[in-house]
Amino acid sequence: MNWQHVFFSAAVALVVASILTWMRKKQWIGKATGAVIFVAAIIGWNVIDTAYLMPGKTRSLELQYAESSMVKLPIFQTMKQYAPETYQALKEKVVDAKAEGKDLQQAIDLVQADSSAFLLSRLYPAPDDNVITTLKVMLEQGENIQQQSDEACFKFFFPFVSGGVNPLALNSAALIQRRMRADSELVAASYTSPRIADKTRENAAAAQVLQPVIQRLYGQYGADLQMIVDPAAKQVDRKKACDITLQLYRHILALPPQQAAAVIRSVLTN
């Protein structure tokens, strides 16, 4: 039951009754006329409230409920503080998804892709240390997931091919907390301590640094290296694609910090 609706209906009824009582004392209306006006006023209020006011109230409550769940995740807390418009848009998306029949967790899962895209958009202004920390935790997640399933590992790194995985079910709570903290700190630092980056120049430098890494991987995997370039191809061996991705990230993290951060930004965003 919508108790807010009941409360306001009772309040309106009280106000209308008071006005009609005063009008009857003035002998402006009779008892029968007063009763008709009272009924008509209550019906009119309920029609207006149900058709025009309640939807807005209901959505407001849904938005509050969505926010109470979203702010439990550090990335959304940080987004709310530093990118309120993006946060509001995702919150609206959660409510719209619920209206389509999805439960709250499914709705929040739906916006994970949006939050990941937002995270990638903050890589260039984020300090090198934060970028490297995020990839280190991502690598650890991938290694952990691969121990359980090569298929799940592939989906973790390439969710756009055949859907992603639920990291909560495949990683320890401690590892998930570290990943969420790393992501949140990266976003916050990209606003509080932003780098000034020339993307074109930085990408060109990163490509040069990446060449020896690619050559080493080619020496190890040969033409199979193409699998991580086109992971949606039919002939892709998902276990091998996961192996190559993990090895690529290990080689990148072995580079000097400034070069590693530049390559990470280039690889993950391009």
Tens of pLDDT, residue by residue over 232-265, are: 888 899 999 999 999 999 999 999 999 999 999 9
Q: Which percentage of the chain shows pLDDT scores above 90?
A: 44
Burial of residue 154 (CB within 10 Å: 0-12, 13-18, 19+) is buried
pTM above 0.95, yes or no: no
DSSP annotation of 208: H
What is the end-to-end Cα distance of the chain in Å, rounded? Answer: 51
Confidence of residue 8 (pLDDT cuts 50, 70, 90): very low
User: How many C-beta atoms surround the C-beta of residue 115 within 10 A?
Assistant: 20
DSSP annotation of 28: S
Confidence of residue 162 (pLDDT cuts 50, 70, 90): confident
Confidence of residue 43 (pLDDT cuts 50, 70, 90): low
Q: Which of 47-56, 62-71, 146-155 has the highest mean pLDDT?
A: 146-155
Please check whether residue 170 is in contact with residue 152, taking contact to mean a CB–CB distance below 8 angstroms: yes
CA–CA dist 20, 138 (Å, integer): 69
Q: What angle do CA 141, 142, 148 make, to 5 degrees?
A: 95
Confidence of residue 57 (pLDDT cuts 50, 70, 90): low
Confidence of residue 54 (pLDDT cuts 50, 70, 90): very low
pLDDT tops 50 at residue 53: no
Tens digit of each residue's pLDDT (9 = 90 or more) over 107-117: 666 677 788 88
Residue 69, pLDDT score: 58
Q: Where is average pLDDT lowest: 10-19, 76-85, 140-149, 242-251?
A: 10-19
Find where tokens 């000097």 sit.
Answer: 256
Residue 87, pLDDT score: 84
- Of 90 and 64, the one with more pLDDT: 90
Find where tokens 């002939």 sit.
Answer: 235
Confidence of residue 1 (pLDDT cuts 50, 70, 90): very low
pLDDT tops 70 at residue 214: yes
Residue 158, pLDDT score: 85
